[in-house]
């Protein structure tokens, strides 16, 4: 009984390590092949447009609603201590340091990530990647690398837009609806938010999350079983793995950045 | 490793190895150069090849030759390993042992620059076309040209139209793959496969699912393209009539090994039971209809004593 348990545990660990090794090899090969893309920037800009368009509406709407809720909840707490004038600061810090990058990454994984996985998985199932290989075109360079770089660029921009919309939502509820003083809302925010400590760390987080979420999405598509069921499973794995990875990375990065 | 890229100065008897002149013999004489195609008779050679998916052997001890400028048909039942041979020649998969050679050079390992260089001399028609669904017919054919050449747009446009004209689909250039039939998609894929005038063209079941008219048209197209381009064509197919009509040589494959080979006429006259069964479409013969295992009676528990 114990022997069987140890054997199956060992087998699972070995499989996990092999999978991890394959993922790193694919990442390395993709990054090396992606170096040649500087001559063909259009491949990347097309993907930025594609990925950005996919996620923009959901990011903006979500940002607005998160801002609404933050303002309500923040006011409820701050009002107890007579500090409602700090509402702008609270909304801005929560969004720039935490909620902006994290929620954007989760939405990005659910919206753009799944479509990347499905697209690449279906290209594999339809032998399009094999056809590309047979035309002496490396799919890592032609298909995966442009999407990866595009995700890396699009993610911080989307996170910034989410944060901006969230602050606007907080302003609408806090100032226009509840009646917090507009001057203190903006001035406390301006005085309390540090460019490097808060905004900078938020940007670093969003770049790291973009790296993780985009790579997981394209890797899952690339390694998907070339069947409808395989693509479906890969898409589900993208959402689950990306979400867990983003939350874990958020914890690690916050711990490293915390002073 | 033995090289066949040899330069031979005429005024000396000492041959000089020159790897930069690949595919040609360069003769030096009085300060001048004379380029001659190398006398390699087989474009592709498979030597003692073994391949398995996991523990399941697919090809065992396979030896095949594909001479230049010929159409060679590889025939056999489903699961006999025909498509695997094409994938091995294309370097999409690697054999466990043995060698696949293109122009006497072993096929590079997957992902290697050598393999991508060799693939520029190949074209492959996939069974379902494998067209890029987000690109138009025109852009599908233009794809390899855009990737590998810096041709001006006007020249590229003309070249693509010529390729599409060769497969009779010039007027479908602006359609999307979703707007054309399966047979048309395969012809577009054929135009794309020959876009770079490859020396080797591989066809994976080009006649499957085609109506009789399209089948005849496709068969003639394969033969004519091969002759016009001076290339070598490897044709994997079940279709005896069309394949025999255009092939110079035929290989019969069964359970991962060659069971018969020769010209179509020799195959038609062959006494080999497998060839007889295949060519005459007989249900009984060396190839059983049923997948090996227990009998139906046993499966249903009829006539078998119960415990």
Q: Collect all residues of chain B within an 8 Å Cβ-Cβ radius of residue A133.
A: 90-92, 119
Q: Enter the tokens of residue B9.
A: 């100065």
Coil, strand or helix at B150 = coil
Residue B212 exposed, middle or buried by CB count within 10 Å (0-12, 13-18, 19+): exposed
**Residue B291, pLDDT above cutoff 90:** no
The ipTM value here is 0.78
Q: Collect all residues of chain B within an 8 Å Cβ-Cβ radius of residue A134.
A: 90, 92, 119, 122-124
**Residue A239, pLDDT above cutoff 50:** yes
Q: Collect all residues of chain A within an 8 Å Cβ-Cβ radius of residue B124.
A: 131, 134
Residue of A116, A136, A142 to mutate when probing chain B, most B C-beta within 10 A: A136
CB contact under 8 A, A134 and B122: yes
| H-only helix segments in A35-144 | 41-80, 87-93, 100-108, 114-125, 128-134, 139
**Residue A104, pLDDT above cutoff 80:** yes
DSSP per-residue codes, A168-237: HHHHIIIIIII---HHHHHHHHHHH--IIIIIIHHHHHHHHHHHHHHHHHHHHHHTS-SSHHHHHHHHHH
pLDDT digits (tens, 9 = 90+) for A107-133: 999 999 999 999 999 999 999 999 999
In angstroms, the separation between the Cα of residue B139 and the nearest Cα of chain A is 14
CB contact under 8 A, A135 and B132: no
**Which pLDDT score is estimated for B155?**
92
pTM of the full predicted structure?
0.82
Distance CA B235, CA B250 (A): 9
Sequence-ordered strand ranges (E) for chain B: 6-7, 16-17, 24-29, 32-37, 42-53, 56-67, 71-76, 97-102, 105-106, 122-125, 200-204, 232-237, 249-254, 257-262
Q: Collect all residues of chain B within an 8 Å Cβ-Cβ radius of residue A130.
A: 92, 126, 130
In angstroms, the separation between the Cα of residue A15 and the nearest Cα of chain B is 16
Classify each residue of B30-55 as buried b or exposed e, where b means 16 or more C-beta atoms within 10 Å of its C-beta: eeeeeeeeeebebbbbbeebebeeee
CB contact under 8 A, B119 and A135: yes
Classify each residue of A17-26 as buried b or exposed e, where b means 16 or more C-beta atoms within 10 Å of its C-beta: eeeeeebeeb
pLDDT digits (tens, 9 = 90+) for B111-145: 888 999 999 999 999 888 899 998 999 999 999 99
Residue of B nearest to A123 (CA): B132
Give how far the C-alpha of residue B19 lies from the chain's centroid of Cα atoms, to the nearest Å.
27
CB contact under 8 A, B128 and A126: yes
Considering CB atoms only, which of B111, B130, B133 is closest to A130?
B130
Where are chain A's structural domains? Answer: 12-257
**Which pLDDT score is estimated for B109?**
86
CB contact under 8 A, A128 and B116: no
Considering CB atoms only, which of A130, A133, A135 is closest to B143?
A135
Q: Enter the tokens of residue A168.
A: 């606007």
**Which pLDDT score is estimated for B225?**
87
**Residue B38, pLDDT above cutoff 60:** no
Coil, strand or helix at B106 = strand
Residues of chain B contacting A, Cβ within 8 Å: 90-92, 111, 116-117, 119-120, 122-124, 126-128, 130-133, 143-144, 147-148, 189, 192, 196
Domains of chain B: 6-37 (no CATH), 42-279 (3.40.50.300)
CB contact under 8 A, B90 and A138: no
CB contact under 8 A, B147 and A133: no
pLDDT digits (tens, 9 = 90+) for B188-232: 998 999 888 899 999 998 888 778 887 888 888 899 889 888 889
The dihedral built from the CA positions of residue A240, A245, A248 and A250, taken in this order, carries a sign that is negative
- The mean pLDDT value for A150-174 works out to 95
Using only C-alpha atoms, what is the Rg of chain A?
22
CA–CA distances in Å: residue A38 to residues A28, A41, A115, A144, B62: 17, 6, 25, 15, 44
In angstroms, the separation between the Cα of residue A235 and the nearest Cα of chain B is 20
CB contact under 8 A, B124 and A127: no
Residue of A nearest to B195 (CA): A135
Q: In what order do the strands lie in the sheet with B16-17?
A: B16-17, B6-7, B24-29, B32-37
Q: Which of B55, B93, B61, B59 is nearest to B76 (CA)?
A: B59
Q: Collect all residues of chain A within an 8 Å Cβ-Cβ radius of residue B127.
A: 127
CB contact under 8 A, A134 and B90: yes
**Residue A139, pLDDT above cutoff 80:** yes
């Amino acid at each position: 009984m114990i022997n069987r348990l140890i054997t199956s545990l060992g087998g699972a660990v070995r499989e996990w390590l092999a999978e991890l090794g394959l993922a790193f090899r694919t990442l390395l090969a993709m990054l090396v092949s992606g170096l040649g893309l500087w001559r063909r920037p259009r491949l990347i800009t097309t993907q930025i447009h594609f990925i950005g368009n996919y996620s923009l509406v959901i990011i903006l709407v979500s940002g607005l609603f998160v801002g609404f809720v933050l303002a309500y909840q923040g006011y409820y707490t701050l009002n107890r201590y007579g500090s409602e004038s700090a509402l702008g600061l609270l909304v801005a810090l929560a969004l720039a340091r935490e909620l902006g990058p994290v929620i954007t990454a989760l939405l990005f994984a659910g919206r753009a990530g799944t479509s990347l996985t499905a697209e690449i998985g279906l290209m594999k199932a339809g032998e399009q990647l094999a056809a590309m290989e047979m035309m002496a075109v490396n799919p890592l360079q032609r298909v995966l690398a442009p999407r990866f770089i595009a995700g890396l660029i699009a993610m911080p921009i989307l996170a910034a837009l989410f944060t901006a919309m969230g602050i606007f939502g907080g302003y609408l509820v806090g100032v226009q609806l509840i009646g917090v003083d507009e001057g203190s809302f903006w001035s406390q925010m301006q005085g309390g938010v540090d460019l490097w400590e808060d905004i900078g760390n938020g940007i670093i987080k969003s770049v790291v999350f973009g790296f993780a979420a985009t790579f997981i999405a394209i890797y899952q598509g690339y390694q998907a079983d070339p069947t409808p069921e395989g693509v479906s499973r890969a898409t589900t794995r993208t959402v689950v793995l990306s979400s867990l990875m983003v939350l874990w990375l958020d914890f690690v990065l916050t711990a490293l950045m915390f002073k | 490793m033995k090289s066949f890229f040899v330069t031979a100065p005429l005024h000396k008897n000492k041959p000089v190895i020159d790897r930069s002149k690949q595919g040609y013999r360069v003769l030096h004489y009085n300060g001048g150069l004379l380029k001659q195609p190398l006398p390699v008779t087989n474009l592709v050679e498979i030597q003692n090849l073994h391949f398995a998916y996991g523990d399941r052997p697919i090809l065992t001890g396979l030896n095949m030759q594909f001479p230049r400028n010929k159409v060679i048909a590889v025939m056999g039942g489903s699961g006999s390993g025909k498509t695997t041979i094409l994938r091995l020649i294309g370097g999409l998969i690697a054999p466990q042992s043995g060698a696949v050679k293109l122009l006497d050079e072993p096929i590079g390992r997957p992902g290697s620059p050598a393999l991508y260089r060799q693939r520029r001399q190949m074209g492959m028609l996939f069974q379902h076309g494998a067209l890029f669904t987000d690109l138009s017919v025109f852009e599908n054919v233009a794809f390899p040209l855009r990737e590998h050449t810096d041709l001006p747009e006007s020249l590229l446009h003309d070249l693509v139209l010529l390729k599409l004209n060769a497969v009779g689909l010039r007027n479908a250039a602006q359609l999307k793959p979703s707007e054309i039939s399966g047979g048309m998609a395969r012809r577009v894929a054929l135009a794309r496969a020959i876009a770079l005038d490859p020396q080797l063209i591989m066809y994976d079941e080009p006649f499957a699912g085609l109506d009789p008219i399209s089948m005849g048209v496709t068969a003639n197209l394969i033969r004519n393209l091969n002759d016009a381009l001076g290339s070598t064509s490897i044709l994997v197919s079940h279709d005896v009539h069309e394949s025999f009509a255009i092939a110079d040589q035929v290989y019969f494959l069964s359970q991962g090994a060659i069971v018969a080979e020769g010209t179509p006429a020799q195959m038609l006259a062959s006494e080999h039971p497998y060839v007889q069964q295949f060519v005459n479409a007989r249900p009984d013969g060396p190839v059983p209809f049923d997948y090996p295992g227990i009998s139906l009676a046993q499966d249903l528990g009829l006539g078998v004593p119960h415990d």
